[in-house]
Structure 1
Amino acid sequence: MSSTEDNNLPNGWEVKEYEFSGHNLKITTFKGASLGVSAYVWEPGLVLCRYFENEKINFTGKKVIELGSGTGIVGILTVLLGGDVTITDKPHILNQIEYNVSANIPVSSRHRSKVCALAWGDDQENYTADYDFILGSDIVYNPTQFPSLLQTLLHLCKENTTIYLSSELKYREGSAQFHDELVPEQFNSKLIHASKTNCIYKVTKKIPGNER
């Protein structure tokens, strides 16, 4: 990873470069644009990207949605790995995501990416429940949002949907409880990778009469 400054960018914007699965990504964060925690590339997202690289995961032909994308780095890599990806976050975050999509996804592949607003618990009904994968990195940090997040995950899931959640367990309030207590009430969940205090869980929806 390297950080660069571009004098042509608006004041406060920052560009960092990353490489995953042979793809060089230049991710711009709109610092100073009142995006809060969304104006950063957080470690759980990088851990999930590296997991995709190490496991040689190929999303070709798969329909994917990412929740709380922030900078877009995970969703962008997923597009580059062949996926048909809907990258979502709150409306005021979307310009940052769209900027990074345009900077990193070739025009020939951009038809496989969509950037859309999705507020958990409010407008998930606007999305169909036919995704092969749901992705979320560092989205488990505010206990007041947990019910809405779970509601959204349940709506978007079909029986064979795989959810990858990459979370920081030590420094995010309620994160351990979310994964250890709340998720297992309605989902099957397995810890599949750990990097220091960042953990990736593979999650599937519990189907009555077909527990797996």
Structure 2
Amino acid sequence: MALVPYNENILLSLSKLHSSSADFRFAERRIRLAQDWKGGGVAAVVWDAAVVMCVYLELGHVELKNRTAIELGAGTGLVGIVTALLGADVTITDRSAALPILESNVKQNVPPHLQGAVRVSELTWGEGLARYPAGSYDLILGADIVYLEETFSALLSTLEHLSSETTEVLLACRIRYERDERFLSMLGDKFTVQQVHYDPQKDVHIYRAVKKKTKSEL
């Protein structure tokens, strides 16, 4: 969500974030993503949570073929691109300022025969949700999108709008601060949440959430 660049003096050791591109291999394809730390900040680089999510998806822990997916806070688009390469119909979203680099990465890394199964769309959490059909997605994906406490309520309302009781929500994140735990608690009020994967090397958790039924539905 945030598009404000961090102070570079704090993160000089993270040279990979300052590279103009990042290379990966998923779904038997080379994926090269443009990055722009100076211009786009945290939304324009690839974070470890996205890589861990892609590994998890490629290992087949989630059925993707012929499923409808949406990625929130996609940034450079790695998760959404890999999800499409693995067979899903994907809407890849972020705020408007992040869309140029996102659209370019999708165009460069999704082969022509799959371009029709991928769309890039502007989505600011909690705003204009009527443009996205309520409860119509099989899978909602988010990698490292739980970090700004002021966005938590909007993120939760977005997840509620997009989900039905059969939708799987997968969130990959580091638990850095107490506020991250608070979001998981907020999520647990509306969804049944469980940790399904942990990468100790990258310190990234993946949580699966499924919307709870309302009292009227029980």
Of 60, 79, 83, the match for 1:55: 60
Cα drift, residue 30 of structure 1: 2.3
2:37 is matched with which residue? 31
CA distance in 2, matches of 1:93, 1:132: 24
Q: Tell me the distance in 2 between the aligned counterparts of 1:54 and 1:111.
A: 24
Matched, 1:68 2:93: no
| Match of residue 87 from structure 1 | 92
**Which runs of 5 or more structure 2 residues have no equivalent in the other structure?**
1-14
Q: Say whether residues 1:100 and 2:76 are aligned partners.
A: no
Change (3 A) 1:149 1:108: same
Superposition deviation, residue 56 in structure 1: 5.6
* Residue 205 (1) aligns with residue 218 (2): no
| Cα separation, 2, equivalents of 1:81 and 1:27 | 17
Counterpart check, 1:146 vs 2:152: yes
What SS is found at the alignment partner of 1:136? strand
The answer to whether the 8 Å contact 1:76/1:104 transfers is yes
For 1:195 and 1:27, the matched residues in 2 are separated by 23
Paired letter, 1:177: R
Identify the residue that residue 195 of structure 1 maps to in structure 2.
199
| Equivalent residue, structure 2, for 1:169 | 175
| Residue 137 (structure 1) aligned to one of 129, 133, 143 | 143
Q: Amino acid of the residue matched to residue 85 of structure 1?
A: V
Relative to its length, the structure with more helix (as a share) is: 2
1:126, 1:90 → 2: CA distance?
14
Picking from 27, 30, 36, the partner of 1:21 is 27
Q: Counterparts of 2:98 and 2:115 in 1: how far apart (Å)?
A: 19
Cα contact 1:58–1:81 (8 A) shared by 2: no
Quick one: which amino acid aligns to residue 182 of structure 1?
A: M
1:178 CA drift (Å): 1.2
Deviations 1:12-44 (A, max 9, x none): 8711110123222111112332x1211210011
SS of the equivalent of 2:182 reads helix
Q: Which moved more, 1:120-129 or 1:142-151?
A: 120-129
Match for residue 48 of structure 2? 43
Q: How many angstroms does 1:173 deviate by? A: 6.2
Deviation at 1:154, TM superposition (A): 0.2
- Distance in 2 (CA, whole Å) between partners of 1:201 and 1:155 is 19
Q: Look up the match of 1:159.
A: 165
Amino acid at match of 1:86: T
CA distance in 2, matches of 1:190, 1:72: 25
TM-score, normalised with respect to structure 2: 0.86
Does the Cα contact within 8 Å between 2:196 and 2:206 map onto a contact in 1? yes
- For structure 1, the residue ranges without an aligned partner over 5 or more in a row are 5-11
